[in-house]
Amino acid sequence: MSKQTQSNQIHIVLGLGKSGISAAKLLKSEGKEVLVLENNTNEKLISISNKLESEGINVILLDEQLNINNFTPWIGKIDTIIVSPGIEWEHKVLKELRSKNINIQGEVDMAWERLNHVPTIAITGTNGKTTVTNMLNHVLKSNGLNTDMGGNIGKALSKIALESINNHHQHLNWLVLELSSYQIEGSPKVEPTIGIWTTFTPDHLERHGDIETYFKIKRSLLEKSSIRIYNSDDKSLSRKRKELPQGIWVGIEERSSYNHHPRFWIDRKGYIYEEHKQLFHNSILKLPGKHNLQNLLLVTAAAREIGLDHSSIATAINSFRAVPHRLEYLGITKNLSFYNDSKATNFDSSITGLKSIPSPIILLAGGIQKKGDHLPWLKQIKQSTNGVVLFGLSAKNLQKALLDSSYKGEVIVKHNLEEATIASINLARETASKSILLSPACASFDQYQNYEERGDHFKELVKKYRDTQ
């Protein structure tokens, strides 16, 4: 490791994830003195830190939990501390640093300061935001607009900012950003042109504490947006309509259950309307499930606000395909279809997956269980599956919940995803099931770096099986 800097103005970046690395490189490109602190150490992190050191970026691998003593050598010399979304915004160490009048800034907030001249669409929500972000970006690009996509998916926003600087601020028409609650709470300066709220169900309560705090964080993004778009089919959003800033509502039915008329809606024949103007038929969308029709409406509303005509939107939607790890169809072998839904990291998202594909299903689930009501998930499992194969840290707890619910299907517990996938194939054959669905309903961090790594592993396992048939 290189020597600790003696600069009087140091920028400290917390975390060696993609956002932390990108933030460090962006600040370094601006001539800032940069130090990265990472509280873990392994071969991968050592390799990353060595590369950053070769670029003139100081890195310290702490190999311990973050504490105030980690910052003692630089107190009085710190300009800003940049926080990656994986670190709690209200972490006790950050609170103590704030009490010393040290500026704490989220990575997205810092990067957006360099990009706030670009019109921005920010998509948030418990579920659906990844599909909406990808679909909307596809529609804009297909219509000749120069866009970049990032935030919670794709590129870190700091990387987009650095690329913009390196390309001499090449003109971007739009930024399309997926923003999690973790990113929003650390981004008070982000003021989108268009804000989209997809769904709202309990999630991340182990971090935010309660559902109301989670709601307020999400709402704050829409409050700062010039144009706001909401999903009226989401009961929680519709119930809180009066608490939300005025905006455009979309819904599958012309009149929602909460008796308000959405601006964008779908008639019984499947035609999408903007108020009373017929736009196109929903059959242009090649993704399964009612939830994807809601996503289509949200995208259509945003595209119309940008100024695209309905035929251009329809043509682009027709060529859009599923987002990796979100009900991603992996093919069929011997009448058995495989679906990768690794992005489903909570119960509600997993319910959506179970409702969207051909049943009976063998479900693969497990990982780190989040707070939230699991009873609707159990109910849907009973309706859609012949069996469940569980893996990971929460497998035993989920097994007990299934057995306590008087579930009649087979429940199998395996240590890891590979063992679980083999067991699911055997069980599907025994029960004449139509589909195998990886829809974990849990976070991945017990056995994987993220849901993408988990989903990629499942795809490898499915390919290995299909290649032997």
Local structure of 326: helix, strand or coil: coil
Confidence at 64, pLDDT banded by 50, 70, 90: confident
Lowest-pLDDT choice from 167-171, 391-395, 424-428, 455-459: 167-171
Structural domains of the chain in order of their starting residue, each with its CATH number: 10-107 (3.40.50.720), 113-318 (3.40.1190.10), 328-467 (3.90.190.20)
pLDDT of residue 40: 86
Q: How many CB atoms lie within 10 A of CB 325?
A: 23
Integer Rg of the chain from CA: 23
Local structure of 56: helix, strand or coil: coil
Q: Are residues 198 and 302 in contact, defined by beta-carbon separation less than 8 angstroms?
A: no
Give 72's DSSP letter: G
DSSP-assigned letters across all residues of 330-377: EEEETTEEEEE-TT--SHHHHHHHHHHS-SSEEEEEESBPPSS--HHH
Q: Are residues 354 and 385 in contact, defined by beta-carbon separation less than 8 angstroms?
A: yes
Q: Are residues 411 and 322 in contact, defined by beta-carbon separation less than 8 angstroms?
A: no
pLDDT at 3 over 80: no
Nearest to 135 by CA among 339, 346, 262, 293: 293
pLDDT, tens digit (0-9, with 9 covering 90-100), for 121-161:
999 998 889 999 999 999 999 999 999 999 998 899 999 99
The residue with greater pLDDT, 256 or 61, is 61
Q: What is the Cα 421 distance to its own chain's centre?
A: 24
Lowest-pLDDT choice from 180-184, 203-207, 260-264: 203-207
Length of the chain, in residues:
469
Say if pTM beats, i.e. exceeds, 0.95: no
Token pair for residue 450? 């993220």
**Residue entry with tokens 């290189």:** 2
Give, in degrees to the nearest 5, the angle at Cα 224 between 305 and 306. Answer: 10
